Structure 1
Amino acid sequence: MKQDWDPDELIVAWTLVEDDWRLLGNKTGATRLGFALLLKYFEIAGEFPSYGEQFPRRRWSS
């Protein structure tokens, strides 16, 4: 999984769209967030992550 993303790339790849929201409809709390992350990760990488460090991290620039 790519680790260095431009802000525009992050928005396009990780924003939930209408169909994503339908899938999240019956989830709540941490389950909802976890499901959303796994869903978008799978869409991008074509596989599920093995560990949390595979998700891109926000790097603050000065």
Structure 2
Amino acid sequence: MKITLDQDKCVASGQCVTAADSVFDQRDEDGIAVLLDAEPSPEREAEVRQAAAVCPVLAIRIQS
């Protein structure tokens, strides 16, 4: 699985971090999401899919 994050779309809601804090973080200065792991292990798939699902602006894309 490969993940892309469109930081230009991000509205700093933090939902991705709540769902998958080992894959996403937020910048201190403005709260915009940061991708920590673009190719997480298969064990993280459920939480990454949840993060993508709860993103209010659909800034997270998952490629299998």
- Alignment TM-score > 0.5, same fold: no
TM-score, normalised with respect to structure 2:
0.26
**Which structure has more helix as a fraction of its residues?**
1
- With the length of structure 1 as denominator, give the TM-score of the two structures: 0.26
Question: Radius of gyration: which is bigger?
Answer: 1
